[in-house]
Amino acid sequence: MAQGLAAPVAALMREVARDIVMPRFRNLRAEDISEKAVNDFVTIADRESEIRLAEGLADILPDAGVVGEEACAADPAIMDRLGEGLNWIIDPIDGTGNFTAGKPPFAIMIALADAGRTLAGWIYDPLADRLCHAMLGAGAWIDGEPILARESDGKLPIAALSVSFIPPEERAQITGNAAGRFEIVAIPRCAAEQYPRLVLGQNDVSIFSRTMPWDHAAGSLFLNEAGGRCARMDGSDYSVSEAGWGLLGASSPRMWDHARATLYA
């Protein structure tokens, strides 16, 4: 079933990017932007994108529910649906902070989950016109071409560590252990960009502290299906229906084991 959804979902994402997202890029008025929380922005483009995506996905697969980031911001109880049956998961613009500032990266992310298990995921970067997608047990693709994750070729593994929301003691442990063992690079502030970087050999390791389903359902599946590894810090699989903090992503299972042992030594 999921394989047959690849083309219509991709077409919908491109349509929404063309008609709603890109016309607002570097064209937002002050009244088009608000804060859901401190430094957590939402724009008119986020809201309009989610509405159009939800309508289109309901047409593509009427039996599935819809769980969108902005709908959940208004009614957190919507997230309870993720443990029951088929549900689309929508991030109408991932990297809204970047989008609001008029800079890349940002992207649209969609996943399909069944009782908490992610079956398929799509990540569309409208600036690069790059589509990443994955199907559970079937592999991962970029712009229709199969992709396998690869490690970087530098002297040290490259790590992008999102630790702002990690408790101070744990943060100090991670950053201290990483010093001299990894090349630390800035995070893109956009999970939709970070996951492809892990697959494409640009980064080797990433820590994500907050793990909301719209941010990680598509990307974690994409990384795992490409042959990398994304899992909770204890090695357990990520489930969109189970609350929790922290994900460790890596360009290979070997690199995941090395990062887990080094950063949390």
From 193, 222, 49, 16, select the one nearest 119 (Cα to Cα).
Answer: 222
DSSP letters of the chain? -HHHHHHHHHHHHHHHIIIIIHHHTT---GGGEEEEETTEEEEHHHHHHHHHHHHHHHHH-TTSEEEEHHHHHH-GGGGGGGGSSEEEEEEEEETHHHHHTT-S--EEEEEEEETTEEEEEEEEETTTTEEEEEETTTEEEETTEE-------SSS-EEEE--TTS-HHHHHHHHHHHBTTBEE----S-HHHHHHHHHTTS-SEEEES---HHHHHHHHHHHHHTT-EEE-TTSPPP-TTS----EEEESSHHHHHHHHHHHT-
196 cis-preceded (ω within 30 degrees of 0): no
The string of pLDDT tens digits covering residues 38-79 is 778 899 999 999 999 999 999 999 999 999 999 999 999 999
User: pLDDT tens string for the chain (265 positions)?
Assistant: 567 899 999 999 999 999 999 999 999 999 999 988 777 889 999 999 999 999 999 999 999 999 999 999 999 999 999 999 999 999 999 999 999 999 999 999 999 999 999 999 999 999 999 999 999 999 999 999 999 999 999 999 999 999 888 888 889 999 999 999 999 999 999 999 999 999 999 999 999 999 999 999 999 999 999 999 999 999 999 999 988 889 999 999 999 999 999 999 8
The string of pLDDT tens digits covering residues 144-171 is 999 999 999 999 999 999 988 888 888 9
Cα(232)–Cα(242) distance, rounded to whole angstroms? 11
Q: How does strand 247-250 pair with strand 33-37? A: unpaired
Q: What is the pLDDT of residue 212?
A: 95
Cα(120)–Cα(87) distance, rounded to whole angstroms? 11
Task: Please give the domain boundaries of the chain with CATH numbers for all domains.
Answer: 2-146 (3.30.540.10), 158-263 (3.40.190.80)
Q: What is the pLDDT of residue 1?
A: 58
Per-residue tokens: 170: 């744990």
Angle between helical axes of 253-263 and 168-178 (0-180°, round to 10): 120
Q: What is the pLDDT of residue 2?
A: 64
Q: What is the pLDDT of residue 143?
A: 98
Q: How many CB atoms lie within 10 A of CB 132?
A: 26
Output the pTM of the full model: 0.96
